[in-house]
Chain A
Amino acid sequence: MNEQTMPRYSLTLGHLYPDQLNLYGDRGNILTLRRRCELRNIELRVVGLGIGDALAPDEYDMLFIGGGQDKEQAPVAQDLYEIKGIGLWAAIEDDMPVLAVCGGYQLLAHYYRPAEGPDMRGLGVFDAWTIHKGAHVARCIGNIAISWNGQTLVGFENHGGRTYLGTAKPLGKVLKGYGNNAEDHTEGAVYRNTFGTYLHGSLLPKNPHFADHLISLALYRKYGAIDGAEEAWYEQEGEKQNGSRPFEANGRSPVPDPLAPLDDTLEWEAHASMLERLGLYQAAVAALHSS
């Protein structure tokens, strides 16, 4: 490889409400994105966006929203609607990859209707809504596997609310587990590059293909397709560095292969082992062959 010191790409991840929505080990998602970027010499800056902070869509390449406790969710919902809403909408319409897990997912739908009390208004990014049917209806808790993009995603779900999709496309089909509402076998929702899901566990460590999908979406959005990459690189980085790293230095493009495959043996084994526990042997075999 050429010199590893200067990252060729840099991405900025906006982590929404890291203090309020930090339940269920969502830190694992951030750690995974950071490490998978690091190993490919992509710089990933993580910026926490708390309550009251504005969201300027131009400053980020990727966004993450986790899940939180009910008590924490109300002020977050208000802030999301009143302060970050416009910026978030702009980012989403501009194809920024956004991952919203559990509570964050619910907040991106139209509303969350608790068992008691008033509805919590969401952003309406997904044409979907969530209803909590009360304490007498069991929570959806357990390991879950869904199909996504011809492969599988595995995780753990724990939600009281049931989400129903209107015209929103689901993220995947439930193979084992509850998913959105334990009724229609859908899981999550997708709008442009925004992904809402109930899967945590954390989601990304055991689903490296999904983590890489998010990273490549962000890279593609920022640096363009491979043909335009050189120009994009000059535009983004070359000017800043006054052309101090000309392409001729090593005789080839500085943008060869951003998402070089990593050694994901352990990741896929963990993935396959969960599939196996859920009785999905065929999928487990396929997963092991992904590594």
Chain B
Amino acid sequence: MGKQKPPHTMKRDGRIRRQRSSAGEEQSSVDHTSVESYRYSRRRRSSLRAGLAVLGGRAAGALSRRLHLGGGTSIAGVVAQRLYPDIVGHLSKQLRYGSVLVTGTNGKTTTSGFIAAILSDAGLRVWRNREGSNLMRGVAGALVIRAQPNGSLRRSGQAISVFEVDEAVVPQFVESVHPRVVAFNNLFRDQLDRYGEVDSVAARWQKAIRMLPDNTTVVLNADDPSIAVLGDHFDGRVVYFGIDDGELHLGDGAERHQTIDTRTCPHCGTDYSYDTRFYSHLGHYFCPGCGYTRPQPSVRAVKVANEGLDRLRVGVETPEHKREIIIPLPGLYNVYNALAAIAVAQALEISWGPIATGIEQFKPVFGRGERVQADGRTLRLLLAKNPTGFNEVLRTLFSDSTPRHVLFILNDNIADGRDISWIWDVDFERLVGYTGSLTVAGTRALDLALRLKYAGVALDDMKIVMPAPLRAATRSLDAKERRKLRRSRSVKSTKRQAISTAEKEPSSEASEQLHEEGIGGRPQGYTHTSQQGRASAGEYGIAKALDAAISRTPVGETLFIVPTYTGLLEVHRQLERRGLTPHYWEEKGP
């Protein structure tokens, strides 16, 4: 910890307490209110089991790290949870200042990063599940690796934890942790194969909110109707945040075909109308049917100005303050992330000083605007894992007509979501003509290339780097197979003597005949099936993709890497191998 910050007041369990951080006090300063003393007896009984779980988890984590399987945090959590299912509840209750939960489809990591920076600038010891595993096992792991074999947390004195939690596990989390503040940032379609539909996530959150004790503070995005209505289900304190700068209105122009994930009022089913729309369904909405309107936020951004690609100057108003703040990240979505963090800090009664320093001196987190120097180029990593996130990244990159060098990585591993249909909801049309160089990689590189092709990007203008060569491309059909293929097609097509039976199957004899007659020539650039003619032949794998993208970016310029989640992990691994970034799981907490 090391930092000695001025003492500050914090409210907890209805009492105001003045806190000093001194190393000797921390160990024993777990306080017991009446509720906690009841839990205390239970904890004694379970401490043996918790100790066992901690030992097991930490051993598994150490083993996994030794074997270079990964950071070992998740496996520690899995093992500990197996040994003691309520290990999270057991350990989290020892946190002196409790915990903050951050959730939402986009912006969890950045928002919790802002909050952690603010809290640590306010002199607290902040614990996070920063390794990116935001399921229960990640939360469990983050606690277990900081626990002692007797089942108690080390140095829990000044501790507060900030957990970013996956949308789907919010109810489980709330049940075992009882957070002091819960922040909901936004709700968009994301990984439909994993979460199900947007509505089922909203239903889970409503369930979670009903389980919260009244002394919890709930922080909600007023501009996202699916988030704001959560306030209706909660009797305790609610803090809304939102943007009140009408100049950011999207208008009815080119961006109207954005995907809208929340369309109708939950009270009466009427479609929302908007006075101002910022992006997707975020804005100043009202229901013409029943009169439901956006709640008036108490933490507001009244003026948002871009300062180049890297910074935003934002006028922020809260009931206590009226300040200007610099957010060292691009994109309107980061305004929401910062506002959420400010609202959480307000709920925790943190003064403005740490809020300003926490946000203004914020270092981009893992893949969210992070910057790395490589071979004289600057690499910037911008994670994009769902249509709204991707759209906002593209909007940030291509808002002025500066040509950008871009590497897209589209993976469909489980952590990314197996279904990549959503790329068709992303407005890639925006980048046509504005790319300096364009490289496409990942397990679904071809799908993304196809999407770009249909957006209007010429094939020659993009470099496709597949993860592995197509095996089928290395061999051709033998005569027997060719006959079989032709026969099976002609049987079906005799059914209909349409104008186009022949044209539709360019490989059939009829079409070749048409060719000889000079009717319906093949368009230029038509290539026959051969390895050379493949759009994707040549180099394979993320390492090659990175090399290609870097070499296509002139020295001194910036290459923007826009990966899905596992793509980001792969890029990080590559950069680490080249000695360009620290191992992220070795970063020390503040």
By a beta-carbon cutoff of 8 Å, the part of chain A in contact with chain B is: 1, 19-20, 22-28, 31-32, 35, 39, 69-72, 75, 139, 141-143, 149-151, 156, 158, 200-202, 205-206, 209, 212-213, 216-217, 219-220, 223-226, 229, 255-263, 265-267, 269-270, 272-273, 275-276, 281-282, 284-291
Contacts and interface: CB of A to CB of B under 8 A. Distances in A.
Top-6 shortest CB links A-B: A257-B520, A28-B424, A25-B421, A25-B424, A150-B488, A284-B472
Among A35, A72, A258, A263, the most chain B Cβ lie within 10 Å of the Cβ of: A263
Contact of B446 (A31, A209, A270): A270
A266 B453 contact: yes
Interface string B488-507: 11011100111111011111
Interface of B: 189, 192-193, 196-199, 257, 259-260, 263-264, 269, 271, 418-425, 446-447, 449-451, 453-454, 459, 466, 470-473, 475-477, 481-482, 485, 488-489, 491-493, 496-501, 503-507, 511, 514, 519-523, 525-527, 529, 533-536
A218 to B, nearest CB: 10
9 contacts: A28-B454, A39-B523, A141-B419, A150-B485, A156-B193, A205-B454, A272-B473, A285-B477, A286-B477
Contacts of A209: 504-505
B451 A28 contact: yes
Nearest to B504: A212
A148 B500 CA distance: 18
A284 B473 CA distance: 8
Among B264, B421, B423, B501, the most chain A Cβ lie within 10 Å of the Cβ of: B421
A35 B453 CA distance: 10
Contacts of B420: 156, 201
A143 B418 contact: yes
Among A28, A143, A266, the most chain B Cβ lie within 10 Å of the Cβ of: A266
A259 B520 CA distance: 8
B421 A288 contact: no
B522 A261 contact: yes
Contacts of B271: 19
B454 A35 contact: yes
A141 B195 CA distance: 12
A158 B194 CA distance: 10
A270 B500 CA distance: 24
A265 B527 contact: yes
Nearest to A226: B499
Nearest to A263: B526
Given A31-B424, A150-B492, A259-B504, A220 B529 contact: no
Contacts of A224: 499
A156 B421 contact: yes
Contact of A289 (B485, B504, B520, B536): B485
A259 B523 contact: no
Given A25-B422, A69-B199, A202-B421, A263 B523 contact: yes
A257 B514 contact: yes
Contacts of A75: 269
A137 to B, nearest CB: 14
Contact of A71 (B199, B419, B477, B529): B199
B188 to A, nearest CB: 12
Contact of A258 (B489, B500, B507): B500
Contacts of B498: 216-217, 219-220, 225
A270 B410 CA distance: 13
B263 A19 contact: yes
A219 B473 contact: no
A22 B499 contact: no
Contacts of B453: 266
Nearest to A203: B421
Contact of B500 (A142, A150, A151, A220): A220
Contacts of A31: 424, 454
Contact of A261 (B264, B269, B520, B535): B520
Given A75-B269, A285-B481, 11 more contacts: A24-B422, A26-B424, A31-B424, A141-B418, A225-B498, A258-B503, A261-B523, A266-B450, A273-B470, A281-B471, A289-B529
A251 B520 CA distance: 15
B451 A288 contact: no
B500 A269 contact: no
Contacts of B419: 24, 141, 156, 158, 201
Contact of B534 (A213, A223, A269): A269
B472 to A, nearest CB: 4
Nearest to A216: B500
Contacts of B489: 149-151
Nearest to A253: B519
A69 B198 contact: yes
B529 to A, nearest CB: 5
B446 A69 contact: no
A223 B172 CA distance: 60
A272 B447 CA distance: 11
Nearest to B520: A257
Contacts of B529: 265, 288-289, 291
A72 B200 CA distance: 13
A274 B408 CA distance: 19
A205 B418 contact: no
Nearest to A256: B519
Contacts of B520: 256-257, 260-261
Nearest to B422: A25
Contacts of A141: 193, 418-419
A156 to B, nearest CB: 5
Among B450, B493, B519, the most chain A Cβ lie within 10 Å of the Cβ of: B450
A202 B424 contact: yes
B192 A23 contact: yes
Contacts of B475: 285
Contact of A270 (B197, B450, B499, B522): B450
Contacts of A256: 519-520
Contact of B477 (A151, A156, A270, A289): A289
B259 A276 contact: no
Contacts of B506: 261, 290
A261 B511 contact: yes
B347 to A, nearest CB: 31
Given A71-B199, A206-B447, A266-B459, A225 B424 contact: no
A32 B424 CA distance: 10
Contacts of A282: 481
Contact of A262 (B189, B501, B523): B523
A212 B507 CA distance: 15
